[in-house]
């Protein structure tokens, strides 16, 4: 499975934008880039996913590099409820999500 590399932790202030980076230099042409987040004692929550083009939804934006070897999850205005572990995962058709260690995001008021 193609792997991703994320910083262990990041800090942000409330109401500021947050850019969470992810490197995936061995991504294949059929891998989709998925982002999930997990709050303590809860199951993961889907955030966003994309293949080649940048994507926006109500939760976040996903910026994908032109060579697809890296991507950035953008939270436009962080809130305290955004404090979670964020996972960047590559998913091929029909396969399970394989979780790495993710990035622990802390948000301060």
Partner 1 sequence: GAVVSQHPSWVICKSGTSVKIECRSLDFQATTMFWYRQFPKQSLMLMATSNEGSKATYEQGVEKDKFLINHASLTLSTLTVTSAHPEDSSFYICSASPGTTTGELFFGEGSRLTVL
Residue 93 CB, shortest distance to partner 1, in Å, is: 4
Given a contact cutoff of 8 angstroms between Cβ atoms, the answer to whether 8 and 102 are in contact is: no
Question: How far is CA 13 from its chain centroid?
Answer: 18
For partner 1, the binding residue among 16, 19, 101, 108 (CB under 8 A) is: 101
Among 2, 10, 23, 32, binds partner 1 (CB under 8 A): 32
Contacting residue, 5, 11, 100, 108, with partner 1 by CB under 8 A: 100
Which helix (H) or strand (E) element contains residue 16? Answer: none
Question: What is residue 81's three-state secondary structure?
Answer: helix
Candidates 8, 43, 67, 109: give the one binding partner 1 (CB under 8 A).
Answer: 43
- The total number of residues shown for the chain amounts to 109
Applying CB under 8 A, among 44, 53, 79, 103 the residue interacting with partner 1 is 44
- Distance from first CA to last CA of the chain, Å, rounded? 38
Residue from 85, 86, 79 nearest 109 by CA: 79
Q: At its nearest, how many Å lie between partner 1 and the CB of residue 21? A: 18
Contact positions toward partner 1, by CB under 8 A? 32, 34, 36, 38, 41-46, 49, 51, 87, 91-94, 96-102
């Amino acid at each position: 499975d193609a792997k991703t590399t994320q910083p262990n932790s990041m800090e942000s202030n409330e109401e500021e934008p947050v850019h969470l980076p992810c490197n995936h230099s061995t991504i294949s042409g059929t891998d989709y880039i998925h982002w999930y987040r997990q709050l303590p004692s809860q199951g993961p929550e889907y955030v966003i996913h994309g293949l080649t083009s940048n994507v926006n939804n109500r939760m976040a934006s996903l910026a994908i590099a032109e060579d697809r070897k890296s991507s950035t999850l953008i939270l436009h205005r962080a809130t305290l409820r955004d404090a979670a572990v964020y996972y960047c995962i590559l998913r091929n058709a029909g396969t399970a999500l394989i979780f790495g260690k993710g990035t622990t995001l802390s948000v301060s008021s």
